[in-house]
Amino acid sequence: MRIIGIANLLYCLLILGLLIRYFSFLTILGATYFLIEIIIIAFIGLVELKQQGQ
């Protein structure tokens, strides 16, 4: 589970970087979609890491 949690957080960083890089090409709806995706997946990754510690 720890590897999956770390992979999820790395994925969030990748998407955030791409979002910043290509922000001028995105619509408001597209940017909102990716921001919500980052929030949800980061939350899942943090929960996975927290459960690993217990």
SS (H, E, C) the chain: CHHHHHHHHHHHHHHHHHHHHCHHHCCHHHHHHHHHHHHHHHHHHHHHHHHHHC
Give the model's pLDDT for residue 14: 98
**What domain count does the chain have?**
1
Give the model's pLDDT for residue 54: 73
Give the model's pLDDT for residue 35: 97
Instruction: State pTM to two decimals.
Output: 0.88
Give the model's pLDDT for residue 52: 83
> What is the rounded distance in angstroms from the CA atom of residue 23 to the CA atom of residue 15?
11
Under-70 pLDDT residues of the chain: none
Domain around 44: 2-53
